[in-house]
Amino acid sequence: IVAEVNSDRSMAGTRPAIDRTALARRGVLALVLSLLANYGVLTVIPQAELVAAYEHLAYPPVTLWTTVGVVGATAVYGLLHRYVDDPDRAFVRLAVVALLVSFVPDIGLYLFDEEATAGAAAALAVLHVPPAVVCIAVLPERISERLV
C-alpha cells in the first residue's frame, strides 16, 4: 500500500477530494447492509442452537462494533482516495488485512474469558465477515458504480 502512494505529491495531497456526499451515501448503505446481515446472523445462531448464550452475542454490542467498523472503513477509504493512486485496490487489500486482524480479539476472548466458548468466539468472528464483504462491495468507487 505504501508503494502506491504517489511520490510526486506532497503530504497535503494533490488528488481531487472525494465527493463527500457520495462517500457518505455509500457509508450509510454499507452500515445498513452490514447491520442487517449481522442481525440475520444473530437471529440464526440461537435458533440453530450453535452456541450457548454469551453476552457479546447480542444486538447492542454487535450494533456498536459494526457501526464503529463501518464508519472507520468509510473514513479510511476517504483518506486512501486522497493519498493513494489506486484507492480501490488499496482499500480491498487493507480491508482483508483488517478482517484477519479483527479475529485476534475473538481469540483473546476465548483464551481469557472463562464464559467464552470456542463456539462463541467463532460466532463473534463470523460477525466480522459480512461488514467486511459489504464494505468491499459498497465503498470503492469502481465497484460501487457497477452495483448502483
pLDDT digits (tens, 9 = 90+) for 19-44: 999 999 999 999 999 999 999 999 99
Query: % helix / strand / coil in the chain, to the nearest 5?
Result: 75, 0, 25
pTM score of the predicted model: 0.84
Q: What percent of the chain has pLDDT over 90?
A: 70
- Local confidence band at 147 (pLDDT 50, 70, 90 cut-offs): low
Q: Flag whether pLDDT at 9 surpasses 70.
A: no
What pLDDT, on the 0 to 100 scale, is given for residue 8?
43
Q: How far apart are CA 82 and CA 6, in angstroms?
A: 11
CB 15 within 8 A of CB 107: no
* Other CB atoms within 10 Å distance of the CB of residue 140: 23
The CA-CA-CA angle for residues 65, 32, 98, to 5°, reads 45
Burial of 9 (0-12, 13-18, 19+ CB in 10 A): middle
Give Cβ neighbours of residue 114 (< 8 Å, ≥ 6 apart): none
Q: How far is CA 86 from the centre of its chain?
A: 19
- Local confidence band at 87 (pLDDT 50, 70, 90 cut-offs): very high
